[in-house]
């Protein structure tokens, strides 16, 4: 039944900008501070206080607009959005309404490095964040934290171009990646610096008119967005199939129960009594400012992808994963600059390093393990100082403690044994103790040789240089044949 309907999804994404101070006052913009410590008369909305725009807010918003291929309006205006809620002490939010900062943008979704789907962006505007309500578990009262009041946000509104919950998730991942590359926000959904509301409706395939849309809120991860939308598709289809009508409403996603429930009937724009903000001048972005921002733009993901596949001969698969996180891409490039072996760096990053990162559930940029550590580790392997097996052990320790690999090798006596005399004694000893395996080898059993190499490695606790061990064993066994 479901496939008689076309799914239509549009998004409203709020992104906190990574500025030092808030949008209209000098208070710190910092997540996790003691409640109500980063506040002042401006962000508390005390009478007589006046907002002054933090210029860096505008710079970051313009970087985001350019990264999303938006047309920047040379003249835009702040507006008051009036509503009453305890986390908004002014009783209005400074936002932008009929004249937003930018519009007519788009974001391409890529597949194997080729553009596969274009999602249009209707508008990108600036606004301030509200505070945060913390509901007491007893439900007897709520606390309010105004630290987030006045934190700069951009709101990105897409056209209703998305056609499935899975595609919506892909879009959000691409959007997050683009904003990380544009260096405008840390985009941490778990800390609320990227938040997403979705509008979803169904219509019979082949019809042009949009169905009644429903807004879904409270989806706190990309996975939750996909699940919430999947649930909503089923819910709306069931109503339509029975000849029912979809109500215009806002619904809340409940992650634990896996359902949406009615939150409120959706406000219309006129409910907010928008009017131009009288305390702030119009926002003018002249050509000089825009070209300055354009020339200072950080490198965006598709350029990096092309450069990594062309300059470093990475496969589409390798480049795809490495560029998915700009800090991982930086790590790759810095390590490669130090040792000039892109394939080896990529293999270690995509293998052991990503595995360890997953285990500790952290971001690569906050690790004490730096590109110089990985470069040194690779140098120790190439120089025959440590075996591949030892290298994994050294990596693990360097990873968590940030100690240099050479230091760990010296302290723990992990250096590879390449001294031929020392190894010859071990080899002789192994041959003496394993006469049966020597006989097997002479009778042409292939496994016997591998077993003897393994025995030498075991006797040296993995530290013997395998190339020398192999040569020594071959020499001795061939010699004894004659
Ligand atoms: Zn303040």
Q: Cα of 175 to ligand 1 centre, how many Å? A: 29
Residue 339 and residue 277 share a domain? no
Q: What percent of the chain has pLDDT over 90?
A: 52
Residue 113 pLDDT > 70: no
Residue 471 and residue 397 share a domain? no
Q: Cα of 130 to ligand 1 centre, how many Å? A: 12
What's the confidence (pLDDT) of residue 112?
66
Q: Cα of 197 to ligand 1 centre, how many Å? A: 27
* CATH number of the domain bearing residue 445: 1.10.10.410
Q: Cα of 22 to ligand 1 centre, how many Å? A: 7
Mean pLDDT across the chain, nearest whole number?
A: 89
Residue 452 and residue 406 share a domain? no
Region 224-231: what's the mean pLDDT?
94
Q: Cα of 397 to ligand 1 centre, how many Å? A: 43
Contact 14, 128 (CB under 8 A): no
Q: Cα of 286 to ligand 1 centre, how many Å? A: 28
262 φ/ψ angles, rounded to the nearest 5 degrees: -65, 135
What's the confidence (pLDDT) of residue 8?
95
Residue 56 and residue 155 share a domain? yes
Q: Which domain holds residue 373?
A: 299-412
Q: In what order do the strands lie in the sheet with 114-128?
A: 71-72, 102-111, 114-128, 152-158, 5-16, 194-204, 214-219, 249-254, 259-265
Q: Which residue do the tokens 């992650």 mark?
A: 255
Domain count, the chain: 3
Q: Cα of 63 to ligand 1 centre, how many Å? A: 24
Q: Which of 276, 284, 286, 279 is nearest to 78 (CA)?
A: 276
As a whole number of angstroms, the distance between CA 333 and CA 467 comes to 31
Rounded to an integer, what is the distance from CA 423 to the centroid of its chain?
48
Least confident of 18-32, 132-146, 158-172: 132-146
Q: Residues 243-258: pLDDT tens digits?
A: 889 888 899 999 889 8
As a whole number of angstroms, the distance between CA 129 and CA 192 comes to 11
Residue 326 and residue 224 share a domain? no
Q: Cα of 258 to ligand 1 centre, how many Å? A: 38
Q: Which of 163, 168, 183 is nearest to 221 (CA)?
A: 168
Q: Which of 104, 27, 102, 31 is nearest to 63 (CA)?
A: 102
Strands in 71-138 per DSSP E? 71-72, 75-76, 78-82, 92-96, 102-111, 114-128, 132-135
Strand partners, 261: 252
Q: Cα of 20 to ligand 1 centre, how many Å? A: 12
As a whole number of angstroms, the distance between CA 379 and CA 376 comes to 5
Residue 203 and residue 68 share a domain? yes
Whole-model pTM: value is: 0.80
Q: Cα of 148 to ligand 1 centre, how many Å? A: 9
Region 155-161: what's the mean pLDDT?
96
Antiparallel, parallel or unpaired: β 102-111 and 114-128:
antiparallel
Residue 470 pLDDT > 50: yes
Q: Cα of 67 to ligand 1 centre, how many Å? A: 29
Q: Cα of 76 to ligand 1 centre, how many Å? A: 24
Among residues 242, 269, 290, which one ends one of the domains? 290
Residue 255 and residue 118 share a domain? yes
Q: Residues 76-90: pLDDT tens digits?
A: 999 999 988 889 999
Q: Cα of 129 to ligand 1 centre, how many Å? A: 12
What's the confidence (pLDDT) of residue 266?
64
Angle at CA of residue 100, ends 95 and 102, nearest 5°: 130
Residue 92 and residue 74 share a domain? yes
Strand partners, 13: 156, 196
Among residues 412, 430, 450, which one ends one of the domains? 412
As a whole number of angstroms, the distance between CA 309 and CA 324 comes to 14
Sign of CA dihedral 282, 288, 292, 293: positive
Q: Which of 181, 175, 152, 125 is nearest to 30 (CA)?
A: 152
As a whole number of angstroms, the distance between CA 415 and CA 387 comes to 8
Strand partners, 271: none
Among residues 356, 390, 412, which one ends one of the domains? 412
Residue 382 neighbours by CB distance under 10 Å: 12
Pairwise pLDDT comparison (303 vs 65), residue with the higher score: 65
Residue 334 neighbours by CB distance under 10 Å: 15
Reported confidence tier of residue 480, pLDDT bands at 50, 70, 90? low
Residue 474 and residue 388 share a domain? no
Q: If you write DSSP's letter for every residue of 396-448 in order, what string do you get?
A: HHHHHH---HHHHHHHHT---B--HHHHHHHHHHHHHHTHHHHHHHHTT-HHH
Q: Cα of 27 to ligand 1 centre, how many Å? A: 4
Sign of CA dihedral 449, 450, 451, 453: positive
Pairwise pLDDT comparison (115 vs 163), residue with the higher score: 163
Residue 241 and residue 183 share a domain? yes
Ligand 1 ion: nearby residues, β-carbon < 5 Å: 25, 27, 40, 42-43
Sign of CA dihedral 203, 209, 211, 216: positive
Residue 435 and residue 393 share a domain? no
Q: Cα of 311 to ligand 1 centre, how many Å? A: 47
Q: Cα of 185 to ligand 1 centre, how many Å? A: 20
Residue 140 and residue 58 share a domain? yes
Kindly state the helix (H) or strand (E) to which residue 195 belongs, with its residue range.
strand 194-204
Kindly state the helix (H) or strand (E) to which residue 217 belongs, with its residue range.
strand 214-219
Residue 1 pLDDT > 60: no
Give buried/exposed letters for 353-365 (b at 16+ CB in 10 A, else e).
Answer: bbebbeeeeeebe
As a whole number of angstroms, the distance between CA 228 and CA 186 comes to 24
């Amino acid at each position: 039944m479901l496939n008689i309907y076309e799914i239509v999804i549009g998004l409203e994404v709020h992104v906190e900008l990574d500025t030092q101070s808030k949008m209209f006052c000098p208070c710190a913009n910092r997540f996790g501070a003691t409640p109500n410590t980063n506040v002042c008369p401006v962000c508390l909305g005390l009478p007589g206080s006046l907002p002054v725009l933090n210029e860096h807010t505008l710079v970051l918003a313009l970087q985001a607009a350019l990264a999303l291929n938006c047309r920047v309006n040379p003249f835009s205006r702040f507006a008051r959005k009036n509503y009453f809620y305890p986390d908004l002490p002014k009783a209005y939010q400074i936002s932008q309404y009929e004249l937003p900062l930018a519009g007519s943008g788009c974001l391409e979704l890529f597949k194997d490095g080729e553009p596969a789907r274009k999602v249009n962006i209707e508008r990108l505007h600036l606004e301030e964040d509200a505070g945060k309500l913390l509901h007491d578990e007893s439900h007897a009262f709520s606390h309010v934290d105004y630290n987030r009041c006045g934190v700069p946000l951009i709101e990105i509104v897409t056209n209703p171009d998305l056609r499935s919950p899975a595609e919506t998730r892909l879009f959000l991942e691409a959007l997050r990646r683009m904003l990380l590359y544009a260096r405008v926000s840390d985009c941490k959904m778990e800390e609320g610096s990227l938040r997403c509301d979705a509008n979803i409706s169904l219509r019979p395939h082949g019809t042009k008119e949009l169905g009644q849309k429903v807004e879904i809120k409270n989806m706190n991860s990309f996975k939750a967005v996909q699940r919430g939308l999947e649930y909503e598709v089923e819910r709306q289809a069931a109503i339509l199939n029975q000849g029912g009508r979809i109500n215009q409403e806002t619904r809340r996603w409940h992650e634990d129960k896996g359902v949406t429930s009615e939150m409120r009937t959706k406000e219309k724009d006129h409910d907010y009594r928008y009017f131009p903000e009288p305390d702030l001048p119009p926002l003018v972005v002249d050509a000089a400012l825009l070209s300055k921002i354009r020339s200072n733009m950080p490198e965006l993901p598709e350029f990096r992808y092309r450069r990594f596949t062309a300059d470093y001969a990475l496969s589409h698969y390798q480049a795809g994963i490495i560029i998915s996180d700009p800090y991982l891409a930086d790590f790759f490039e810095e390590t490669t600059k130090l040792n000039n072996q892109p394939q080896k760096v990529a293999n270690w990053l995509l293998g052991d390093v990503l595995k360890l990162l997953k285990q500790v559930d952290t971001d690569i940029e906050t690790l004490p393990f730096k590109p110089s550590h990985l470069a040194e580790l690779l140098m120790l392997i190439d120089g025959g100082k440590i075996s591949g097996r030892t290298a994994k052990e050294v990596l693990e320790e360097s990873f968590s403690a940030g100690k240099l690999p050479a230091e760990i090798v010296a302290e723990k006596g992990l250096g590879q044994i390449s001294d031929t005399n020392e190894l010859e004694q071990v080899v002789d000893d192994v041959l003496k103790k394993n006469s049966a395996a020597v006989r097997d080898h002479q009778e042409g059993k292939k496994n016997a040789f591998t077993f003897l190499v393994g025995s030498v490695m075991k006797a040296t606790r993995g530290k013997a240089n395998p190339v020398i061990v192999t040569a020594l064993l071959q020499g001795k066994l061939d010699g004894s044949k004659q």
